[in-house]
Amino acid sequence: MTHMAHKTHWKDLSGKRKTGMIVIGLAQLTLTAAAYRDLIKRPADQVEGPKFVWGIALLVNWIGPISYFAKGRKV
């Protein structure tokens, strides 16, 4: 017997769930954009490690931008 996972479609979600997903998505995009903005403006000698590597790391959902703000910048 095979168990198939039920796929939930956007149209099936409640308004509250849709709003929550949009807010979380916007928060993630804002955090990533802020991290990229800081990385671009910050001189290389004020970044821990290569800027190119951080640029790639920022693409990793929440982990990349949070890691950059916590460990990637020299203060």
Q: For the segment 5-30, what is each residue's pLDDT rounded down to a tens digit?
A: 788 899 999 999 999 999 999 999 99
Structural domain containing residue 37:
18-72
Q: How far is the C-alpha of 18 from the C-alpha of 38, rounded, in Å?
A: 30
Q: How many domains does the chain have?
A: 1
Residue 9 lies in a domain: no
Grouping H, G, I as helix, E, B as strand and the rest as coil, residue 18 is helix
Mean pLDDT of the chain: 93
Using the predicted structure, report yes or no on whether residue 37 has a pLDDT greater than 70: yes
Mean pLDDT score, 39-53:
97
Residue 8 lies in a domain: no
Asked if residue 62 lies in contact with residue 28, where contact means CB atoms within 8 angstroms, the answer is yes
Angle at 22 between CA 69 and CA 35, to 5 degrees: 15
pLDDT at 54: 97
Residue 10 lies in a domain: no
